[in-house]
Chains A and B, each alone.
Chain A
Amino acid sequence: MKIKIKFENFSLWFGNNQILKNINLEIPEKNVTAIMGPSGCGKTTLLRAINRMNDLIPDTKVCGKVFIDNENIYDANVNLLTLRKKVGMVFQKPNPFPKSIYENIAFGLKVHKFKNIKERVTKALIDANLYDEVKDNLYRSALNLSGGQQQRLCIARAIAIEPEIILLDEPASALDPIATAKLEELIHKLKKEYTIVIVTHNMQQAARVSDYCAFMYLGELVEFGKTEDIFVRPKDKRTEDFLLGKYG
């Protein structure tokens, strides 16, 4: 199996605070990899290291390498805009732009100079399992959609510009169970085409959607492996404690 993203001795600091400690991790292509761990363990920071969103936070220092397709994205000559076009992201709270549904998706397409914008918007909405619900209201404000619909719109917005990787940062934490089920169904469908990395502190969700699973604790990567192995036979005591609900 091909490795899409590879962390090599990667550490990260916010000021003097070390958030990630010497991470080594290989994320396989066209699979869903879940990153689990209790709050504050650095899982979101790890995710945001993949599209370098941590750069937005002042006083961030990194050490080590992260490869995407064998290219170190922390090289000095890496173009951040190209990187982020290749690595889409969906955030914890749905954050559509205060524009119409159509414009939300067309925005990225226009910036990246795509052609046939209308067809691409429709396709992105279909791929995100949202088209049937919004096809009559494409020009209405996206803020009128329900939380679950907004989150799927954010996914449509991300996949419209043809990324290779999609990062999902606790995408279901603000959603009700039905919306969550729809979202998970969508994730399942999308992994045929995209490499998906999902952060979650919900173990059941990790078990349901992921093929591979990483467990983090206090900035360290404790364990990584196939989801069924981790859930059935955790090797590390800390993973086992987490799965048994001893901290969370």
Chain B
Amino acid sequence: MKETHRFISGILFFFAFLTSLLIIFILFFLLSYGLKIFQFISFKDFFLNPVWNPTGYFKNDYGLLPNLWGSFLVTSLALIIAVPFGIFSAIFLSEELRKITWLYNLTKGIIELFAAFPSVIIGLFGLVYLAPLIQKIFSLSSGLCVLNGGIILALMSLPTIISLCEASISQVPLTYKEASYALGVSRFQTTLKIVLPTAKSGIIAGILLGFGRAIGETMAMLMVLGNSPIIAKSLFQPTRTLTTTIAIEMGETAKNTPHFFALFMLGVVLFIISFIVNLIGNYFAQKRIKIII
């Protein structure tokens, strides 16, 4: 009995160890390639250069900014759309729909199913349906732009945001709400001033993890953003994100060239951003669990 236990925990330890080792290896690999770019250009030429033109005729530019700005713009737009939608849906789900169990379960099922949708299909929707619509409404030459990307990304991060916010809001004890109602406070005020502040940690976690999901998204963005490596000044311009630049260019780059290393460095930046966001998001998610327990 004891031997079996030891044997199994040994196997489990081995796989867990292997997984962490792999992750550390990937990180090491990313850094070792990425940092080599600084043998060719200065920090300033990478971090502060507003031009990304790795195959220029006279001069090659490996500026982080157009890619970072694209990621930032699309992700922020996505959150601006998704956060209010997500929180309101979560409130509706947990405070209203919960009473009708079958409909509640059905709706939650659909939302969770949506999270499992392949991103290429959502991208297809943006490309085939949303792009012509945006083009027509705003009379643009192309509907592949920041706005399109933001909407698609909002759709993709909504399930994460809704699920986490909903879980957090429905865990607010009934006694808090009762106390508030008993003071003659309306449902609206109770939700706004008692329920939401109590569920705050979970809501922040939901938003951050939704952000983490959004910033790493590649395929759908590749399809709907128009992919021009410029610093977009309006919602109707095409742009690129950290992820799409890597995906587009990695395939056609010669190994061990500055371009190759620059793409890895973009990956490093992306990794650092998602790592930090996920770390903070998980911190809030943990905090939520502690409060509830």
A residues with a Cβ closer than 8 A to B are 51, 53, 56, 58, 80-86, 88-89, 91, 93, 95-99, 107-108, 111-112, 154, 157-158, 161
Contacts and interface: CB of A to CB of B under 8 A. Distances in A.
B179 A88 contact: no
B176 A95 contact: yes
B94 to A, nearest CB: 15
Nearest to B200: A98
Contacts of A89: 182
B221 to A, nearest CB: 40
B185 interface: yes
**What are the 6 tightest A-B residue pairs by CB atom distance, in nearest-first order?**
A85-B184, A84-B184, A95-B175, A89-B182, A108-B183, A81-B184
A74 to B, nearest CB: 17
A155 to B, nearest CB: 12
Contacts of A111: 183-185, 189, 193
A166 to B, nearest CB: 11
Given A81-B184, A88-B183, A112-B184, A95 B178 contact: yes
B178 A107 contact: no
A84 B181 CA distance: 8
Contact of A93 (B175, B182, B194): B175
A188 B282 CA distance: 50
Nearest to B194: A97
B186 interface: yes
Contact of A108 (B173, B184, B197, B291): B184
A51 B182 contact: yes
Given A85-B183, A98-B198, A111-B183, 13 more contacts: A81-B186, A84-B183, A91-B178, A93-B175, A95-B173, A95-B179, A97-B179, A107-B180, A107-B194, A112-B184, A154-B179, A157-B183, A161-B183
Contact of B183 (A93, A96, A99, A158): A158
B2 interface: no
B104 to A, nearest CB: 14
Contacts of A107: 180, 183, 185, 193-194
Contacts, number: 65
B151 to A, nearest CB: 36
15 contacts: A51-B182, A53-B181, A81-B186, A84-B183, A88-B183, A91-B179, A95-B175, A97-B176, A98-B197, A108-B183, A111-B185, A111-B189, A112-B184, A157-B179, A157-B183
Nearest to B193: A107
Contacts of B99: 58
Contacts of B179: 91, 95-97, 154, 157
B99 to A, nearest CB: 6
Nearest to B198: A98
Nearest to B182: A89
A83 B179 CA distance: 14
Interface string B186-205: 10010001100110000000
A47 to B, nearest CB: 11
B98 to A, nearest CB: 11
Contacts of A97: 176, 179-180, 194, 198
Nearest to A58: B99
Nearest to B175: A95
A161 B179 CA distance: 13
A107 B180 CA distance: 9
